[in-house]
Amino acid sequence: MDNKKKNNVNKPAAGAQKNATEEKSSFGFAFGPMNYILMIVGIMLLGLGYILLSGGGSDDPNVFNAEMFNNRRMVVAPLMIVVGLVVEICAIMFRPKEK
């Protein structure tokens, strides 16, 4: 009967065992290097879109300037901004493949 008590004392309770991977706690960065590269590219696209969107106004409010409605400001700049936002979302959601 003493052998049973000794064997039970040395065994941990059910569920108390942890894997080696669970015991390791990683305190790294939230994102990997590829995430940061994508974020920088997205910010550059957003900045370029806003730069393309600027200008075309008139100094005199009584004078109409048709340059405000050209193709660059109406099509290209908004597309650049949308692409920049999509790249930013992808940069946040991107997860590298684990080996």
With respect to residue 3, please indicate whether it lies within any of the assigned structural domains. no
* pLDDT at site 11: 58
**What is the phi/psi pair of residue 16, to 5°?**
-85, -15
With respect to residue 98, please indicate whether it lies within any of the assigned structural domains. yes
With respect to residue 25, please indicate whether it lies within any of the assigned structural domains. no
Tell me which residue has tokens 């309770």. Answer: 13
Tell me which residue has tokens 């370029």. Answer: 48
Which residues are CB-contacts of 82 (< 8 A; sequence separation ≥ 6)?
Answer: none
What is the spatial distance between Cα 54 and Cα 33, in angstroms, rounded to a whole number?
32
With respect to residue 14, please indicate whether it lies within any of the assigned structural domains. no
With respect to residue 8, please indicate whether it lies within any of the assigned structural domains. no
| Helices (H), ranges, 1-99 | 2-10, 20-23, 33-53, 71, 77-93
Q: What is the mean pLDDT of residues 57-83?
A: 89
* pLDDT at site 74: 93
* pLDDT at site 65: 82
With respect to residue 10, please indicate whether it lies within any of the assigned structural domains. no
Structural domain count, the chain: 1
- 20-54 pLDDT tens trace: 455 555 678 788 999 999 999 999 999 999 999 99
